[in-house]
Every structure is written in structure tokens, then in C-alpha cells.
A and B are shown apart, each in its own frame.
Chain A
Amino acid sequence: MSDHVMSADASGVSVVPLPRLLFGDNQFFGINHMSEEKARQQAMRFQDLSAVMEVLDAAYDEGVTSFMCTTHDRVGRICDVVRASPQRYRDFAFLPSMPYAHKYADAVTENGMLGAIRQFLPDSGIVSAAVRGGRSLATKDVEGLIRLLVDAEMAMFRNVRTPVVWLQNVVVDLLLGLKFDDAFVVFNQYVRAQYDAEPGYITMNLPLALDTFERIGLDNPLVCSSINKLGFRMSGGVDAYRDVLENRRFRAVAMSVFASGAIAPDEALEWVCQLPGVESIVFGASSRAHVQATSRLVEEFSA
């Protein structure tokens, strides 16, 4: 049994555990890893904010108050709703995952790598100065760039609660593969200092990520990854994941527990709930009945 759901980390600083269930947002944005038809149906169903809020409200009233979301423009409108009714949403927490990768990927396709940075950070002057002067970027520039990008993504969450800020998996995994370790260090420090939040990392390569985080000294990191009975999107395989869950010090959040619907809900949840050391489970749902069913199963299997 791992120790990473304990209430204090190595330095004795207390760690507030995440709720057992986090509400995901894939269903709201037409993301479905199983069927493009279903994805389109969901995109149509949730194109009005009211349809999204109806489901979020249902989840909130069922006690699922943490919303793990991308930094899609439409999430900004959810923030507006939550900000406008502080009493109604007293316990509502956003756990944003940044960046919204498609936005940047499309910009890179259109304007190139540096053009994209210029587009998103028009006033920073960092890149234009470097390009104009033909000089290379200095270390402090790269750190500054990461901070500015975090700030740009966090702007929509002003005055709402964000206890965790996630770095999204395409970025985490790109950096892991490149061995660009310092980027994690900068992100870790900045999210803690500037946003008083716990930095989290989403990855499809959990064992490799943990090796990297250990090497750079991130203690008891919060890491979200695909964890499901099928081994779907679990690089290294189910056994390697089971091994790190049992033996490594980190806070595990499981996503894709249903493997995009390939595993029946009760079977999927029973399997993940009996794993040692899974602190939280991210799930998506498109109705109150879905939320209730998932909550009930998780409660039952976690007992």
C-alpha cells in the first residue's frame, strides 16, 4: 500500500486530499475517444451554455463540486456564471488544465512557432526582441515565457477557486520526451507562488513521468493518467502502473477509467476503486442520473 493519500508530505506540509470524484468536461466539447458520431451529438447537445450548466448544477447538487476543465473559451463563460452567484456556488472549484492545445497547434500551423507565441503574447516583447536582435533566448526569457503563458490561460479564472492547476498531457508528454525538465520546475514554482494552487500533471506515460519528477525533485507530485482495466492509453502497461501505484510516492488521479466506454461502468469502477493509492477519479456524465449512478458505484466499491 502506498502512502500517497496520507495527509502530510515529506516536509510535513499538510496536503489537502482531492475529493474522490472530479467532474470532467470532455462531454461538453465534443470529445469522445470511441465514436466521432457520439462526439458530434454531444457537441450539438451542449452548444448552449444552459445545457452545460444544467449538468454541472446537477453534479454540484449531487456533491461533485470539483470541475476539471480545459481552458477552452467556453469555460470562461462557466466562470462568469459561477462568479455571478457566489452563494449558489460556494464550494465550486475549477481544476483547470492548460493549455488548450488545439488553440496553440492551430496557431502554429497558421503562423509558425514564434508567430504563435507572438499571437498569444502580443505585448510581451520577449520573442520579438529576440528575433529582431538575432540573439538567442536567455534562460530568464524561457522562464518568463512559461509564466506569461500560465497567466494568459489563468485569466478567465480570476475570482473563482482553483485549488489545482494542471499541465495538460500533450505538453507534459512532449516535455517528458524532449527531457525538457526545467519547464516542470518553473511551472511547479510559479503555480504555487502566483496562484497558491497545487500544480498537477496529466500524462499518458505515468512511469516515465514519475521517473522524471523524481529526478528533478518534485516531491509527492499530483499526477493524473489513464488508469483502466483494459490498459488503454497506459504506456508501459497495466503491470507497470500497478507497480508505481504500490511503490512510488505520488498522488494518483485516474482518468479514462471506462476506456471511452469499452468497459461496463460497474466493472470499470470496481477495478479502479480496489487499486491501491488512487486518490481521485475523473469522470464525465451528461445527466443527473449518470452522476448519481457513478457516485453510488464509487461509494460502494470504495467502502
Chain B
Amino acid sequence: MINIAVVGLGKMGLSHLSMIRSHPDVDVVAVVDSTRYLLDILHKYTRVPAFGDIETMLASAQPDAMIIATPTRLHAPMVRMALERGVHVFCEKPLCLSAAESEQLVQLAASRDLVTQVGYHNRFVGAFREVHRLVGAEAIGEVTHVLAEAYGPVVLRPRGSTWRSRKSDGGGSLYDYAAHPVDLVTWYLGSPIRAAGTALRSVFSEQTEDQVFATLFFPNGVTGQVSVDWSDESCRKMTTKITVWGTGGRIIADRQECRVYIRDTITPPAGYRLGWNTKYTTELTDATWFYLRGEEYSAQLDHFVRRVAARRTDGMNTFVSAARTDRALELMTRDAAHGLASPGRLDASLSASSLKRHLFRRHS
């Protein structure tokens, strides 16, 4: 059995707790949160040992591994504390608000030989995993361009009272939402070398961006575009979509299905034919021991548990790969700081000629 502590009992923390507590190879030895009444309820009704701070918990419960689901600003100090005590870490995404900090945590974990993972659950979605497999197998030839989109109805009014509405805590659509599609892009294409045309724009939020648009440049001239809007009520829930163009065809994938067009210049992989193919989530998804809100959430925790049991430091969504995504997010933040439409709303008073100058200026 692996002894696990869950830190942070927000929406993600509670759902992780529910899944991991039902895992046959896991004992949940502690939950940690700073909110007394939530802790009391959980302890009273579910008998799980509850702690108000990590220090006390680490000393008393001595977990093998920790799941951290606190506001992003708190990730770095909490992860560091865990790693320094020799505790394996699963941390919610994004890993840190600064790429340098993420890199330090990568080094620390490596020096202690500890298992790390970050909650980019889309990599466990069958359709997105299939995209990775097809790209790797050159099923659409050489990749030329990727479009990564995510839309959803998160912020539809100018209010909000949690950390998610505060930039300094890790709120905002770039780190809290766009991180998902950006992580998929870095999975498929590796690290971008440059970001350009990044617009971080507010629709309703006062302190953070709601829309993220950017172009990413990769080695060998491959490009990626990111289009994210969490103020889009037309989507019932978060909708992530990936489109990949290659010299030999095109892939379009979302959580439900993966559609692939293969040109006759390519020998199709097993199970595929020339022209259009559709693979549905029902055939791309492996069953899990417990289902709460999508197989991918269970699957990522199971992956972590198995890695901890085997002390395998390589695997999916390690700190190394999450740090790559943090670097991409930072490239976009920096680019936006010099860009046209950031911060805030597009300035309506901008004259047509100056707009044109801005739009067509050369990026250095």
C-alpha cells in the first residue's frame, strides 16, 4: 500500500481525494486544508485524518506521496517542502508561475530520485493520446502546423472572489485554462523557441485575461497557434480541440473523437485507411477502476500510483515535461507584454493607420 496525503480541498482536491481514496493500492493517510469547517466535515463524516498545515501533517502522517491541489502560487513552496522530505509529488497544473522555479523543482526531484507528476489530464484522454501516437508514427507525414483551442463558460460576468480571479495567485485564463492546450502542443511538438502575436485580453475580468491568442514557433519552421476563451457561453463546458496539419494529411481531435484525413502519399497505420477515418472515445478509452468525471482523471492518478510503487521517475507528465509547458507559457507572457492588444481590451480609439502599423510590424 502507498500512503498518500491530499493537500488542498477545492474542487480538484476533493475530486482527487474521492478517486484516490477508492484506489485499491492506496491508503489516504491525511488531508490538509486551511479551512477548518471543511476539514471538520470531512474528518467527522469520512474519518480521514485532517490537518491544518503541511508541516504538522508531514511529521505526523509520514506519507509516501502527496497530491497538491492548492492555488498555483502555493505550488512551489509546498512541492519543495515535500521533495525535501523525500515525498513523491503529484501537483495540479500548472506547476509554477515562473519557469525558473519549475526548473529548480525538476533539479531537486532528480537529485532525490523522486517520482513527480503534474495534472495535465488531457494527455490521458484517448483521442489526444491517439494524436500523439499518429504524429509519432508520421501518419500525416511531417507536421507543419498545429491549432490548439479551448473554449468554455468560466467567467461570464465581471466578478469572482476566489484566487482564480487574481493574477498574482495564478488566476487568469493563460495559466488556469490555456495551459491545457499549450501542454498538448508541447507534447506533440516539443518546446517552442519563440512566441509572437500574443494577445492576453480581458472580456469581463478586472485583474486577469479571459482570452489568449498566440503563435508559437518550433524548430524546423513548424508553427502552432493557440486560441483560448473562457468567457464563451456557447460551450456547455470546457471544450478542447486540436487540429494538426501535415504534409500527408490532417488530424482533428477533441475529447470525444479523433478524425484523420490521410493522403495517398502515406501508408496508413494499422486500423486506418486513405481518406477520412474516425475513431471514437469508446474505442480509444481504457476502462478505469473508478469513474468520477472522465476516465482521464482516474487514469492519471493510477499512472502516478504505479510509478510511485515502482519508484519509476520517468513517465507521463513529469515535472520535466510540465516545466517545458511553463516555459512556453512564460514565452507567451513576455511576448504579450510587448504586444498590441495587451493588457486589457483592444483600444477602440486606435487609428486605422496605427493599427495597421502595429499589425504588420516585424517581430524581433
Contact = CB atoms under 8 A, between A and B. Distances in A.
B254 A180 contact: no
B142 interface: no
Residue among A29, A183, A205 with the most chain B CB within 10 A? A205
B15 A136 contact: no
Nearest to A43: B236
B212 to A, nearest CB: 17
A136 B162 contact: no
Contacts of A236: 289
Given A34-B257, A233-B291, A137 B37 contact: yes
Interface in B202-245: 236-237, 239, 241
Interface stretch (B87-95, B115-123, B186-194, B278-286): B278-286
Interface of B: 9-11, 14-15, 17-19, 21-22, 35-38, 40-42, 44-47, 153-155, 159-162, 164, 236-237, 239, 241, 254-257, 280-283, 285, 287-293
Contact of B290 (A31, A177, A181, A183): A177
Interface residues of A, number: 55
A111 B18 contact: no
B42 A136 contact: no
Contact of B291 (A39, A115, A173): A173
Contacts of A177: 17-19, 21-22, 290, 292
B46 A179 contact: yes
Contacts, number: 132
A208 B254 CA distance: 30
A102 B10 CA distance: 15
Given A30-B236, A36-B239, A109-B164, A179 B21 contact: yes
A113 B164 CA distance: 13
A170 B293 contact: yes
Contact of B282 (A134, A178, A205, A230): A230
Contact of A106 (B35, B45, B153, B281): B153
A262 B282 contact: yes
19 contacts: A31-B236, A34-B282, A35-B257, A39-B236, A110-B160, A110-B161, A111-B161, A134-B36, A136-B36, A136-B41, A174-B18, A174-B292, A176-B18, A177-B17, A177-B19, A179-B21, A181-B45, A204-B292, A233-B291
Contacts of B161: 110-112, 115
Interface majority SS (helix, strand, loop, mixed), chain A:
helix
Interface in A215-247: 230-237
A30 B15 CA distance: 24
A296 interface: no
A260 B293 CA distance: 16
Interface in A1-60: 29-36, 39, 43
Interface string A79-120: 000000000000000000000001001101111111100000
The 8 closest A-B pairs by CB, nearest first: A177-B18, A136-B40, A204-B291, A262-B282, A177-B22, A112-B162, A235-B291, A174-B18
Given A36-B239, A110-B154, A174-B292, 8 more contacts: A35-B256, A102-B236, A112-B10, A113-B11, A135-B37, A170-B293, A175-B18, A204-B292
A131 B241 CA distance: 41
A266 interface: no
Given A115-B161, A235-B290, A235-B291, A180 B38 contact: no
A293 interface: no
A243 to B, nearest CB: 16
Contacts of A108: 10-11
A142 interface: yes
Given A109-B11, A109-B162, A178-B46, A231 B154 contact: no
B37 A131 contact: yes
Contacts of B292: 170, 173-174, 177, 204
A178 B17 contact: yes
A178 B42 contact: yes
A110 B10 contact: no
A235 B154 contact: no
A298 interface: no
A137 B36 CA distance: 9
Given A33-B256, A204-B291, A205-B291, A262 B283 contact: yes
B291 A183 contact: no
Nearest to B291: A204
B260 to A, nearest CB: 15
A175 B42 CA distance: 11
A267 interface: no
Contact of B45 (A131, A142, A231): A142
A300 interface: no
Nearest to B9: A113
A139 interface: yes
A261 B289 CA distance: 23
A178 B10 CA distance: 14
A299 interface: no
B256 A105 contact: no
B11 A178 contact: no
Contact of B289 (A34, A43, A230, A235): A235
Given A36-B254, A174-B14, A176-B18, A136 B282 contact: no
Residue among A135, A174, A234, A260 with the most chain B CB within 10 A? A174
A174 B236 contact: no
Nearest to A260: B282
